Amino acid sequence: MVPSHIAVVGGGLTGLSSAWHLARRFPQTAISVIEKESRFGGWIRSERIEVDDGNGHRESMVLEAGPRTLRPRSKAILELVHLLNLEESLITIPLTSPAAKSRFLHLPGRTGLAVLPSSFTSLFTSPFLRLMLPAIAREPFKAPNRPDGIKDEAFDSLLSRRFGPEFARTLGSALVHGVYAADSRQLSVRSAFPTIWTAEENGKGSIVRGFMQRRGTSEEPAYDLGDMEATMKAVSVYSFKDGMYALVDALLKSLKTRPNVRLLPNTAVTSLTSNEGGDTMQIVAGSEKLKPSHVVAALPLPQLAVIPPSSPLPHLTANPASSVTVMNIVFPPSSQSIHPPGFGYLIPRPQPPFEYDGTQPGILGTVFDSCSVGAQDIPLQSSTSASERFTKVTVMLGGPYKLTPEHTSVPTVLRHLSSHLSTTLPDPVLVRVHHHRDCIPTPTLGHLERMEELRRVLASGPWNGRFEVIGAGVTGVSLGECVEAGRKVGSNW
């Protein structure tokens, strides 16, 4: 039976994508999008500002408090870009650009940056040659050593088994800092990096052999991409001229044109119940009482846990979530480049015994925004030579580090940034600080099994398959995974 009324709880990218796809699939069905905040979009927050150095240099630029770029491998997002007519707003960064080819690590306790190899030949001139080459070369000849009977494993544990503890700590922990802002020793490899787990199985114990084997093409759904695949050929990452919120804004504008969709900002859900037959539900949201036939919960799982349901749901608070402080820093034009050309750098977990204690700076990494998405920024004076452009970077702190006010003070961060970049920094013309509490869920060991049990509970009484829970805490933290979840939701309704 076609749903009569769908309530989407949560107005972030997952919730908006869900509402948009459901509105297309069920044009006669009433759809309510309920968001407790005054704004939609969740952690996606773009701000266009003007900066002035007081010496005649002015620039209009975009600051991102949350996600800042997308990878073209997510067809679900490319489909949205096409169907929402956002092609003209795209900014693409080609694979040949410094932002695509040059990524760095800063090793704790040292000064400066070390460039990561971007190709096999560059490995031989890389400072990580002694770490990476022996570990990778030996791995295919190492005996299978996955413990018998395990169904999941920490990412750090798997890399340590196959490539060695130093490889896991230096490269593995830095990668996890950049994606999850988490401790790689807690992260489920099956949930976060399933292709690595599968490669070890396909390679009969060797990850390298597993990746070298020819993989069959898996069947995937059809996406309406227009010319997007051609547009994204040889593209590393992309964004939009006015920042990532352009995607949210386009979704909102499209939803507002649909007579069957109602947007409810500033509306907190305080109750969610189902009748015994499982054919209707009741939601108390602000001053309203809704009786939807179907519900999509697209909000952080711990937030869903505090909404009193008629039947408790399992595992909503099983996983921790990382809190991250994001600091946008804009430096004035300078005759000398502040940082090397490239995307930015990550920082691995410090060596024992320091690790994540309070003596560490607490910085996870820094993005060189002017290099990666500099096309968003527009000079407001006639002369536009490179030495007259502002430099924009974003520093991320927190995650597994327990931050104090001293960690996130601007002078402290600038002092560490100066050491990382091996340069004396000019005084910034603008600094924006954003504290994001519990913004990135960490899928710990057993996450896939827990989510499968949650789906089984929702498929039976009293929910009877009419209530679906999706989002970053369920299927994955990338924006592509969030949009894909919104595309698939309700496929059995």
pTM of the model: 0.95
364: burial class by Cβ within 10 Å (0-12, 13-18, 19+)? Answer: buried
Q: Which residues of the chain have pLDDT under 70?
A: 214, 216-217, 276-278, 310, 383-384, 386
Structure tokens that stand for 444 in this block = 């710990």
CA 8/CA 298 separation, integer angstroms? 7
Contact partners, residue 261, CB within 8 Å, separation at least 6? 19, 23, 31, 32, 33, 255
End-to-end CA gap in the chain: 7
Ordered by where they begin, the domains of the chain are 5-43+244-317+443-488 (3.50.50.60), 48-69+88-101+320-441 (3.90.660)
Q: Annotate 200-225 with DSSP letters as a single string.
A: HHHTTT-HHHHHHSPPPPPP------
Residue 479's H or E segment, with its range, is helix 479-488
- Peptide bond before 462: cis, by omega within 30 degrees of 0? yes
Residue 184's region, left for phi above 0, alpha for psi from -120 to 50, else beta, is alpha
Q: How many CB atoms lie within 10 A of CB 47?
A: 15
pLDDT tens figures, 456-469: 999 988 899 999 99
268 and 303 in contact (C-beta within 8 Å)?
no
Beta strands in 101-185 (DSSP E): 103-105, 114-115
Helix (H) or strand (E) holding 270: strand 269-274
| pLDDT tens profile 92-114 | 999 999 999 999 999 988 889 99
Taking Cα atoms as reference points, which of 449, 490, 442, 448 lies closest to residue 466? 490
Quick: pLDDT tens for 400-457.
999 999 999 999 999 999 999 999 999 999 999 999 999 999 999 999 999 999 999 9
In this predicted structure, what is the pLDDT of residue 480? 98
